[in-house]
Amino acid sequence: MNHLGRILIVEDDPRDVELTLTALEEYNLANEVVVVRDGQEALDYLHCRGQFAARPAENPAVVLLDLKLPKINGLEVLQQIRSDERMKMIPVVVLTSSHEEKDMMTSYRLGVNAYVVKPVDFHEFVNAVKELGIFWAIINQPPPGSAKRSP
Amino acid sequence: MAVLLCTVSFDYFFLEPLYSLEVSAEDIPYFLVFIAWAAIVAFFARFRRRIEDDLRQTRDHLQVQLEERKRREDDVRRLNEELGKRAAALEASNKELESFAYSVSHDLRAPLRHAAGYAELLQKHASASLDEKARRYMQTIIESSKRMGDLIDDLLAFSRIGRAEAKMGPVDLNQLVREVVAQASREASGRDIVWKIGALPICFGDRSMLKQILVNLISNAVKFTRMRTRAEIEIGCVNAKPDEAEVFVKDNGAGFDMQYADKLFGVFQRLHRTEEFEGTGIGLATVQRIIHRHGGQVRAEGAVDRGATVSFSLPKMIDEPAKTARVA
């Protein structure tokens, strides 16, 4: 599966991380996944700095971004991604518990590619994560400079 | 004073210097003239004093009025300040409510999702080694978390109606009912439902909110007629008043006891057990809230096992072009 795009998951809740990874594993989508636990780490990863200074300078094929995060929240991360020349083309999907219209409006205004509310029902959740994984890591052609090799 | 002045002037103009105290007969007319003058002057003096009194009284009166007015102005200012404080407090509590709704939306759903998710995972991994009872417990955990998720979603949607801005305009209820009925009959395919749809007016309101009303009422009608081999659902309008339309949704379903009619519109109030008819009990509360926001009334009539009718009133579009222009 070397044509999988790399998925960056920004999620502070370990249970949500585990459930998301379980859903991705079920469909063999988990081998190109990077998990960071707050907004600061997400930006460090994207900028290849701090603990990620040594990583190859490719952008992920998609960022799955939670909104409520410690230190720097998801909307700020999104804003920084969109205002950085090198990163602004990275597809970003907000994956959140928030049903609030305000969050959705702000996310779209900041240029998010998709807004997904995590379903309470586990089957629906697994399904949503699977669909996201398949679409962004396999079907979608990410912009140049992304960590996805052609099949 | 006046008398003295007159005396002096009289002395000066008319009298001989008073060498003697003799009063001659010639002086009598002068004396009479003098008395007359004195009387006139005294009269004017009294008149003037009365005017002065009147003026003083009026001035005092004005003073009192002025004070009264000042007091009232102070009152108004105080009330205004109080009103401002109340408005600020209300705004603060609204903000609080909003952040409360936000945290319900975000923070309460996460652990719920985890409970449901891990229970599912447990069921998947361990169900082979579980006995019948344990599997039922597991199923209950999963169903309960799903139900709580539904309750939270409904409560949030309900609170959103109060906060969302209404986009008012003309709404054709005929078209709206057609859409909703089409959806409802698709979902109830396989059931025998007779739809009777009368002519409906064009109302003045928020389209998506009015659609929500019809979705709730019509899906209720479909739900509560489930046990009928042939369900009858009627949607129509009574033109009771020239500026108001009364729309009703009538079914021949389970109905309800009229003594609980006032409970129908309460949040999470249900008149049926969950195993009889599913639902969270927020549908009619939502209907009532939307109708009240539109300045209308809602009521329900029914009898146990003899169906229910829910009617609501809405402002009609009377002067269509004029009102549309004003809205635009």
Residue B262, strand partner residues: none
Cβ-based contacts under 8 A for chains A and B: 60
Higher pLDDT, B172 or B241: B172
Work out the widest C-alpha separation in chain B, in whole angstroms: 153
Lowest mean pLDDT across B37-41, B107-111, B138-142: B107-111
Residue A68's closest chain B neighbor by CA? B106
pLDDT for the residue numbered B18: 56
Min Cα separation A125/chain B (Å): 8
In this predicted structure, the answer to whether residue A80 has a pLDDT above a threshold of 50 is yes
B109 to chain A, any CB pair closer than 8 A? The answer is yes
Cβ neighbours of A100 (radius 10 Å): 19
Q: Do A99 and B153 make contact, defined as CB atoms within 8 angstroms?
A: yes
Strand order in the sheet with B298-302: B193-197, B231-241, B244-251, B308-315, B298-302
Residue B272 vs residues A41, A97, B191, B263: alpha-carbon distances, Å? 51, 31, 21, 12
Residue in A with minimal Cα distance to B148: A120
Copy the structure tokens of residue B273.
């057990």
Contacts of B105 (CB under 8 A, 6+ apart): A97, A98, A99, A100, B152, B156
Task: Please name the residues in contact with B261: beta carbons below 8 A apart, sequence gap of 6 or more.
Answer: B299, B300, B301, B302
Q: Which residue of B105, B113, B117 is in closest CB contact with A99?
A: B105
- Of the candidates A19, A101, A120, the beta carbon closest to that of B112 is on A120
Predicted pLDDT at A106: 94
Rounded CA gap, A101 and A92, in Å? Answer: 18
* B-chain residues near A100 (CB < 8 A): 101-102, 105-106
* Residues B255-273: tens digit of each pLDDT: 998 988 888 888 888 888 8
pLDDT value for B15: 66
Cα dihedral sign, B253-B258-B259-B262: positive
What is the bridge-based pairing of β-strands A7-10 and A62-65? parallel
What is the b/e burial string over B272-281, where b = at least 16 CB atoms within 10 angstroms of the residue's CB?
eeeeebebbb
Q: Domain coordinates of chain A in residue numbers?
A: 7-139
Distance CA B300, CA A127 (A): 41
E strand spans, A86-133: 92-96, 114-117
| DSSP, res B296 | -
Can you tell me the distance from the alpha carbon of B283 to that of A64, in angstroms, rounded to the nearest whole number? 34
Token pair of B241, please?
């008043």
Among the listed residues A75, A92, A88, the one whose alpha carbon sits nearest the alpha carbon of residue A145: A88
Q: Cβ of B159: how many Cβ atoms within 10 Å?
A: 18
CB A116 within 8 A of CB A136: no
Mean pLDDT of B76-99: 89
Q: What's phi and psi for A100, nearest 5 deg?
A: -65, 130
**B229: exposed, middle or buried (C-beta count within 10 Å: 0-12, 13-18, 19+)?**
exposed
pLDDT at B287: 92
What are the residue ranges spanned by the domains of chain B? 1-164, 167-327
Look up residue B316 and give its DSSP letter.
Answer: B
pLDDT at B324 over 50: no
Decide if A16 and B114 are in contact by the 8 Å CB cutoff.
yes
Total residues belonging to chain B: 328
Is B260 part of the contact surface with chain A (CB cutoff 8 Å)? no
Contact between A73 and A67 under an 8 Å Cβ cutoff? The reply is yes
Q: What is the DSSP letter of B19?
A: S
CA of A147 to nearest chain B CA: how many angstroms apart?
30
pLDDT of residue A148: 61
What value does the mean pLDDT of chain A take?
A: 87
Could you list the beta-strand ranges (E) of chain B. 168-172, 193-197, 202-206, 231-241, 244-251, 298-302, 308-315
Among A12, A98, A122, A127, the strongest candidate for a mutation testing the B interface, having the largest count of B CBs within 10 A, is A122
Give the gap in angstroms from C-alpha A98 to the nearest C-alpha of chain B.
5
Tell me the Cα Rg of chain B. Answer: 43
| pLDDT score recorded for residue B69 | 95
Assess contact for A128 and A116: CB atoms under 8 A. Answer: yes
- Comparing alpha-carbon positions, the chain A residue that sits nearest to B156 is A99
Decide if pLDDT at B310 tops 90: yes
- Given a cut of 90, is residue B188 above it in pLDDT? no
Residues of chain B positioned with their CB less than 8 A from the CB of A67: 106
Residue B210 neighbours by CB distance under 10 Å: 22
| C-alpha span between A28 and A60 (Å, rounded) | 18
Fold of B167-327: Heat Shock Protein 90 (3.30.565)
Say whether residue B84 is in contact with chain A using an 8 A CB cutoff: no
Chain A: give the shortest CA distance to residue B151, in Å. Answer: 11
Among residues B160, B181, B169, the alpha carbon closest in space to that of B207 is found at B169
Residue-level pLDDT at B166: 80
Q: Which residues pair with B316 in a beta bridge?
A: B203
Nearest by CB to residue A120, choosing from B106, B118, B145, is B145
User: pLDDT averaged over chain B?
Assistant: 86
A7-139 CATH pick, 3.40.50.150, 3.40.50.2300, 1.10.10.60, 3.40.640.10? 3.40.50.2300
Res. B17 pLDDT band, cuts 50 70 90: low
Rounded to the nearest angstrom, the minimum Cα separation between A56 and chain B is 34
Q: What is the pLDDT of residue B22?
A: 62
Orientation of helix B27-103 relative to helix B2-14, angle to 10°: 150
DSSP state of A50: G
CA distance B108 to chain A (A): 9
End-to-end C-alpha distance for chain A, whole angstroms: 8
pLDDT interval class at B19 (50, 70, 90): low
Q: How far is CA B20 from CA B2, B13, B24, B29, B30, in A?
A: 26, 18, 11, 19, 17
Q: What is the DSSP string of A126-151?
A: HHHHHHHHHIIIIIS-PPTTBS----
Which residues does chain A have within 8 Å of residue B117's beta carbon, measured at their own beta carbons? 15, 19, 122, 125
pLDDT of B97 reads 79
Position with higher pLDDT, B223 vs B156: B223
Burial (CB count within 10 angstroms: exposed 0-12, middle 13-18, buried 19+), residue B142: buried
Residue B20 pLDDT greater than 90, yes or no: no
Closest CB to A15: pick one of B109, B114, B149: B114
**Among B22-31, B71-80, B287-296, where is mean pLDDT lowest?**
B22-31
Tokens 């705004």 label which residue? B91
Element (H, E) at B140: helix B132-163
